[in-house]
Each structure stands twice: as structure tokens, then as C-alpha cells.
Amino acid sequence: MDAWAAGAIGVDVMVAASATARALDERRSARLAALLQTALMRSPLYREWLGARDPQRIALADLPIASKAALMARFDEWVTDPEITLQALRRHTADPALIGEPFLGRYIVWESSGSSGQPGLFVQDENAMAVYDALEALRRPVLQPFARMLDPWGWTERLAFVGATGGHFASTVTIERLRRMNASAASRLTAVSFLQPMASLVSQLDALDPTVIATYPSLAVLLAHERAAGRLHAAPREIWTGGEMLSAEAAAHVEQAFGCPVVNSYGASEFLALASSCPHGELHLNTDWVILESIDAHGRAAAPGAAGATTLLTNLANHVQPIIRYDLGDRVKLVPRCDCGSHLPVVQVQGRCDDTLHFAGAGRRHVDIVPLAITTVLEDDAGLFDFQLRQDGPRDLVLSSASGLPMLRRGQRALARFLAAQGARGVQIQCSVEDGHRAASGKLKRIVARTH
């Protein structure tokens, strides 16, 4: 992207962080009108949905709610660049060697999980990536101001991202993209697979000795257990979490085990940097670039300060793949002000609610499996997206789905191989052709631990 344009976005992000509510409203209104104008002129699907309405006068609440399934079914009509096709994108994301590589030389692409029963593909243009980069860099709190003063460019930092590394997922693509953009920093940015046994993961982190660990809250908790037990020796200066709910109790546990601060964020494949923590620990929604509408089960706006049945997202940065009133599936509650003084509203998120599973290993050793590792295995190795895995006993699992018995058998074999590699002994997996139960967020609760 043109350096001046990227710089202008960065400056605007900095200024808007302390802007008045009125200034934020003005930015949001202008960007919404521009997005609707692009969608009307260049997206056949949105041209059909918007009709002859004036983008300057459209009330957002009057527009239709868009689901991932409906948009993916008409993907080639959804995007605003006719050179982008679903078939070509699927070829691109099928090749691990292309992770972080621009599609058509100008677009960044990642895929989402199927937590709502439907995987998605998301294309970001240069403007959207510049917005995400600026929000991530400039609105993340500085946890150690003195250290940052001594090293403002982060030359001494070593970041390890612990998560799914084999697919075109947003976090993995972001790490690889940064490595490609800055060769001098490539050796200090490492993606570590969470699909390996815990002992191997601990050994790799100790060898890397990262100053920053970025991961999911559930995995941060497991790493904190390893640290408290004396098996993990890596001593990061900061822990960054995102992608799941982080409770105050979990954050305190991780901070105590590692002796360093934890900062949480809220993002999605549909908008990478929805909210960032403030010094008070609250998540502030980036309302200058995104709109979240909390609605009830009938599609009406939820009462102020109350969590609705689901949340609609409008991405004001991405014009190549318009995301307007998109059913995100999370339940959120918006709180107008925070004691930190920011006019960016606080968002309280009830997002993914899957459970960590616990099994017996060799001797008295326990094997803990985070939910995102299980979903990654079932999605990537078996192509199973709409499922539920329930733990009925110490070694008893039930894998259910409406996808049919042949697909379930593939998932059963993939999961059995993975659990054995993790050291979980004697686990029995039954298959059941049935629908799972949706969580309060509207997403399928896919991993359910036993309660006794």
C-alpha cells in the first residue's frame, strides 16, 4: 500500500482514540455511506439487496441481516472485484505454501472455522489491512512503558504465536505476512503448533524463550499450569490472548504463574481488530471502523446494557468483500463509558464457550486438550465442521453431527489418531447422527466436557 495512505490511516487511528463521541459518530457515518456506495455500485448481490436506495440516506437497521451461509452461497456475486472467485480462492487456501502470500498479488486471504456450522473465506484489500495493522499496533496498551522507551522499535522482542499453524487462519496468515514484509524480524516471529503433545510444546517454547506469547485464553491457562508445575521455564514479559473469552479469574491465574501482565483483545475473521484492552482491563470497541448491533431473537435492537441473542457486524474498512449487518453469532453487551476516559464504548463479550477436555495419560499424568485443537483436527483432517463432541466419561466421547455416518467415521479416525499422539490412553469414541445443541451465543457448543 502507498506509504502515505497507510500513514494517514495510522494518524487517524491515533487521533480517534481520544476523539469525542461526536467525532467518532462523524467518522462512522461517512465510512458507512462510502461502504454502501461501493456495495451498491460493485457488488451484484448487494445491488440486489439495496435496490435503488440512496447510500447517504439508508438507515442501517432497515437493511437485511446477512448470514455467512447466504453470502458464501453467492460468493462470486458478493465480492466487488470480478477477478475474485470462490473456486480460485479455494485453490489458494488449499496450498499451505501460500499462507500469507497475496492473492492476485494484492489481497490477503484467510479462512474461518466452522463454529457456526459453515466455514468462510475472507478477502482483505490493502486499505483494510492498513486499518487492522494500525488498530493492533496503536490501540494495544503499552504494558511496560519503560522497556518500550528503551526499545521503541521492538528489536529485542521475540514473539511466539501458539495456535493452529497449518491453515490459512487469520492469526497464522498475519504472522507469515509480517515475516514476509520484514525479513529482519522474521527470525523473531515464530508460529508454534498447539497440535503437538504438551511436553513437545513446552520444550519448543523453552528453546525459543519468547519475550511475548500470543495465544488463546484456554491454552494460556494450560501453559500457566505447566509454568506453575515447573515444567515450562520460558519467562515472557507479556502474554497476549484473543479468540476466546478470558475471565478475570483466568487472567489472574496466568499473570500469577508467569509473573507478567496479560492483555486481551476481541477479534474475528470478519474484522481482525474489533476491540482492545484499556489500562482498566476493559475491551473498547473500535467504533470508528466497525459497527456492532446487539439484537434480540426477533431481530430488534437489544435493550441498552443488555446482551442480545446475537450480534450484527458491519466492517467499515473492507470494500472488496462488503460485510454489512453480518450475523456474527456472538452475544455482546455494550457499555457506554469506562473510567479510563475513552469515548470508545466498552464491549463485554460472551463468545466461544467450548470446554477443555481432560484425559488420563501414562502413570498419573493428565492430558488436557484445548477445544480449538480438537476443532482444528476435525475440520482440517476430516472436513467435519458442524459437529458436537461430548465427553461422557473419563475415556468416553460421543461425536455427533447431522453430516452422516461416513463423515463421522472420518472424524472419529482423525480424532483417535490425534488423541493417541497427545498421550490420551484408551479413549473410546462413539458416533451419533444427530444435531448438536446451540449455545446462548447462537453458535454450536462443539466441545462439551463431562460435569461429574
> 244 with 159, same domain?
yes
The pLDDT, as a whole number, for residue 130 is 94
User: What nine digits make up the cell of 38?
Assistant: 461501493
**37 and 124 both lie in a single domain:** yes
Rounded Cα distance, 438 and 444, in Å: 4
pLDDT at 437 over 90: no
How does residue 439 score in pLDDT terms, banded at 50, 70 and 90? Answer: very low
Q: Once rounded to an integer, what is the mean pLDDT over residues 160-168?
A: 89
The answer to whether residue 136 sits within a structural domain is no
pLDDT at 45 over 80: yes
Q: Say which CATH number the domain at 284 has.
A: 3.40.50.12780
Based on the fold, state whether residues 217 and 163 are members of the same structural domain. yes
Residues 19-27 have a mean pLDDT of 93
145, burial (CB in 10 Å: exposed 0-12, middle 13-18, buried 19+) = exposed
Residues 109 and 206 in one domain: no
Task: Tell me, yes or no, whether 138 lies in a domain.
Answer: no
Residue 109, domain member (yes or no) = yes
Most confident stretch, 182-191, 325-334, 350-359, 408-417: 408-417
Is residue 340 domain-shared with residue 417, that is, in the same domain?
A: no
Same domain, 371 and 444: yes
CATH number at residue 191: 3.40.50.980
Residues 6+ apart with CB under 8 A from 51: none
- The verdict on residue 193 lying in a domain is yes
Indicate if 312 and 251 belong to the same structural domain.
Answer: no
- Residues 440, 384 share a domain: yes
Q: What is the mean pLDDT of residues 345-362?
A: 81
CATH of the domain at 369: 3.30.300
pLDDT at residue 114, as a whole number: 62
Q: What is the pLDDT of residue 400?
A: 93
* Structure confidence at residue 88 (pLDDT): 97
In a domain, 299, yes or no: yes
Residues with Cβ within 8 Å of residue 115, at least 6 apart in sequence:
329, 352, 375, 443, 444, 446
Q: Which positions ≥6 away from 199 have C-beta within 8 Å? A: 231
In a domain, 229, yes or no: yes
User: Alpha carbon of 303 to those of 59, 219, 350: distances in Å?
Assistant: 19, 34, 16
pLDDT for res 185? 75
Q: Is the pTM of this model over 0.75?
A: yes
| Per-residue pLDDT at 11 | 94
User: Mean of the pLDDT values across residues 421-448?
Assistant: 75
What is the residue-wise DSSP string for 3-57? HHHHHHHHHHHHHHTT--HHHHHHHHHHHHHHHHHHHHHH-HHHHHHHTT--TTT
The DSSP letter of residue 72 is H
Q: How far apart are CA 193 and CA 322, in angstroms?
A: 32
Of 224, 239, 260, the residue that ends a domain is 260
Share of the chain above pLDDT 90, in %: 58
pLDDT score for 117: 54
Query: Considering the domain boundaries, does residue 195 fall inside one?
Result: yes
Residue-averaged pLDDT of the chain: 88
Give the range of the structural domain holding residue 400, as residue numbers without chain letter.
Answer: 357-448
Query: How many structural domains are present in the chain?
Result: 3
Same domain, yes or no: 80 and 61: yes
- Least confident piece of the model among 24-28, 96-100, 257-261, 437-441: 437-441
- Does residue 123 share a domain with residue 8? yes
Residue where a domain terminates, one of 350, 384, 402: 350
Q: Are residues 9 and 118 in the same domain?
A: yes
Give the pLDDT confidence score for residue 442 in this predicted structure.
44
Q: Which residue, 350, 371, 399, sits at the end of a domain? A: 350
| 310 and 249 co-located in one domain | no
